[in-house]
Amino acid sequence: MKLVAVRIDWSRMDPEYLPGRCNIGTRGRAIRLSTGAVLIGLSVALDLTVLIHLYWEVRLLLVFPVYIGLLAMLEGSTSFCVLHAVRGTYDLHEPMGFATNRSRTLNKVGSEEWKQMDRRKARRMHAEALAGATALALLLALA
């Protein structure tokens, strides 16, 4: 029996707005993933090199940059920007790779129901990022 794996090149597919699921394109995803990874890496490196000699309560302040990094990585991995969800917009061809009002490809979400779906997804992503950041900051602070 021969196993065949079909490889789908997602970067060549035209992005499509899906309420509550996808509101950014490949450029936005790539920038958010790399920004989140760098921010989390810098936070961990800072904790392990500079802050290691401070009280653990002070080291818990790393929850803020880790939260932002995790949220950026969630946005990149799910193709969903929480800022676009709050604004009621989507931009599948962001020229800068992050949510701006100056983009010529920015579109408004048409339906109020779709906006609610986007906001619900954004709240869930915030909760996931906060839970992960709290756990990682506690782990780093107590290590």
Quick one: pLDDT at residue 54? 78
Contact 143, 124 (CB under 8 A): no
Contact 65, 39 (CB under 8 A): yes
The torsion angle over the Cα atoms of residues 106, 110, 113 and 115, rounded to 10 degrees, is: 20
| Residues facing 24 on adjacent strands | 91
Quick one: pLDDT at residue 1? 44
The answer on pLDDT for 48 being more than 60 is yes
Quick one: pLDDT at residue 94? 80
- Please name which of 1, 23, 10, 141 lies closest in space to residue 82, comparing C-alpha atoms: 23
Q: Is 12 part of any domain?
A: no
pTM of the model: 0.83
Question: Could you list the residue range(s) of the whole structural domain that residue 110 is in?
Answer: 19-142
Mean pLDDT across the stretch 11-17?
64
Of the two residues 33 and 95, the one the predictor is more confident about is 33
Q: Is 100 part of any domain?
A: yes
Quick one: pLDDT at residue 2? 47
Q: Is 1 part of any domain?
A: no
Quick one: pLDDT at residue 129? 96
Q: How confident is the model at residue 128 (pLDDT cuts 50, 70, 90)?
A: very high
Quick one: pLDDT at residue 98? 65
Of the two residues 76 and 56, the one the predictor is more confident about is 76
Q: Is 71 part of any domain?
A: yes
Helix 112-142 vs helix 26-49: crossing angle, to nearest 10: 20
Burial class (CB in 10 A: 0-12, 13-18, 19+), 109: buried
The answer on pLDDT for 15 being more than 80 is no
Mean pLDDT across the stretch 49-57?
79
How far apart, in whole angstroms, are the C-alpha atoms of residue 73 and residue 80?
Answer: 10
Mean pLDDT across the stretch 76-93?
92
DSSP one-letter string for 21-72: TB-B-HHHHHHHHHHHHHHHHHHHHHHHHTGGGS-HHHHGGGHHHHHHHHHH
The answer on pLDDT for 142 being more than 90 is no
In the chain, the number of structural domains is 1
